[in-house]
Amino acid sequence: MEEFKRLDRKLVFKGSIIDFYKDTVQVPNGNVVEWDFIGHKGAAAVVPVTEDGKILMVRQYRNALDRYTLEIPAGGLNSPSEPMIEAAARELEEETGFSCDHLEFLISVRTTVAFCNEKIEIFVAKDLKAGTQHLDEDEFINVEAYDVEELCQMIYDGKIEDSKTISAIMSYNNKYVK
């Protein structure tokens, strides 16, 4: 493999969710280029499966798209060292109001490898126990239940475009349904 060498990384902006850097990199032909890099502490997500096999989804407004989306429950880690399985359990309860005693690892997703290091680990939750949502002040989430087939069709129809949700639903369908 050809060699790439990072010469410098400068923090341009520190945000609450991401940090924006300007990297200086020497590429294999010797040229020096600048690349954008987004640092992300990571996230966890969960596929909550009801007793009758439906998947609980969250419908919420996403500012980046200026519209509502249908997604699996997910959220960022509280710190880079937080175990992702704990974050997944926390997000399940916060966003849906349900909890479970055991989460099973499903898949890891790197969302945008061209410029961001975000990693999302996705888990499956079964034997759900009803509780109460614990939403943040800026969260307004509706919980909806769907059959896996319905969700796959929404993916094929372009109604679900979120990468973590697509990866999770298709992986779940392949591993548990088909």
Residues in the chain: 178
**Among 2, 3, 137, 144, which one carries the catalytic annotation?**
137
CA distance 88 to 36: 29
Active-site residue 137, yes or no? yes
Asked whether the beta carbons of 23 and 34 are under 8 A apart, the reply is: yes
DSSP letter string, 13-60:
EE-SSEEEEEEEEE-TTS-EEEEEEEEE--EEEEEEB-TTS-EEEEEE
Which amino acid is located at 47 in the chain? V
Q: Known catalytic residues?
A: 137
